[in-house]
Amino acid sequence: MSAANYKKLPSAPRNPTSNSSDEVESLDEDFEVTPKRRARLRDASAGPPHHGHGDGRPKTVGARGRGVLAGLFASFWAKNRGILLVGFSQLFGALMNLTARLLELEGAGMHPLQVLFARQSLTTICSCIYMYWTNVPDFPFGKREVRLLLVARGVSGFFGIFCLW
């Protein structure tokens, strides 16, 4: 763009925080609202296009409105995901402890190390499936920098549980 064309462009106020009415009026004169621009502004203020029945009601999926329920569930999950995950964790941990107690006490019962082996085997299988499915980096042994720490954690955890039982 040449210098001559550059000077024809409307100038913005030098200080954006100033409220000089002369500067605002000069900008308003340079900005002309055409009918096409007015229609675009009106459409933008209306929001996204409505895909419903035409009378303001949203279109639902299926006979029982599963689309609306799915949307409500998705927004509820987005707002409360953390606390729900903690709640599910507590629920399944309590169920696992209940099952372990029942297996130890029923009839002749199982040895606690058998119960522990079954619990940890199931946990390992489910964790490996999850990590494979979500493409966790450096699966299954972890990053090379912390691999020795992970082995130390596993060995100390094994002896801690083994000595406890």
Residue 143 one-letter amino acid: K
> Is residue 164 assigned to a domain?
yes
Residue 124 one-letter amino acid: T
CB-CB neighbours of 99 under 10 Å: 13
153 against 1, higher pLDDT: 153
CB-CB neighbours of 115 under 10 Å: 19
> Is residue 57 assigned to a domain?
no
Structure confidence at residue 32 (pLDDT)? 63
| Per-residue pLDDT tens over the stretch 106-132 | 778 788 788 888 888 988 999 999 999
**Average pLDDT of the chain, as a whole number:** 75
Show the domain range for 147: 111-165
Distance between CA atoms of residues 85 and 93, nearest Å: 12
> Is residue 100 assigned to a domain?
no
Q: What's the average model confidence in pLDDT over 41-48? A: 57
Nearest by Cα to 14 from 26, 32, 29, 2: 26
**DSSP per position, 51-70:** -BSSSSPBP-STTTTHHHHH
Structure confidence at residue 151 (pLDDT)? 92
Residue 63 has pLDDT above 50, yes or no: no
Q: pLDDT tier at 4 (50, 70, 90 boundaries)?
A: low
> Is residue 115 assigned to a domain?
yes
Structure confidence at residue 87 (pLDDT)? 97
Q: What percent of the chain has pLDDT over 70?
A: 60
Which residues are within 8 A (CB) of 96 and not within 5 positions of it... i.e. 6 or more apart?
119
Supply the pTM of this predicted model. 0.43
End-to-end CA distance of the chain: 82
Structure confidence at residue 24 (pLDDT)? 47
Q: Count up the domains in the chain and report the number.
A: 1
Residue 26 has pLDDT above 70, yes or no: no
> Is residue 63 assigned to a domain?
no
Q: What's the average model confidence in pLDDT over 91-102? A: 88
> Is residue 159 assigned to a domain?
yes
Q: pLDDT tier at 164 (50, 70, 90 boundaries)?
A: confident
> Is residue 68 assigned to a domain?
no
Average the pLDDT over each of 21-30, 41-50, 104-113, 116-125 and give the range with the smallest value.
21-30
Structure confidence at residue 70 (pLDDT)? 87
> Is residue 126 assigned to a domain?
yes
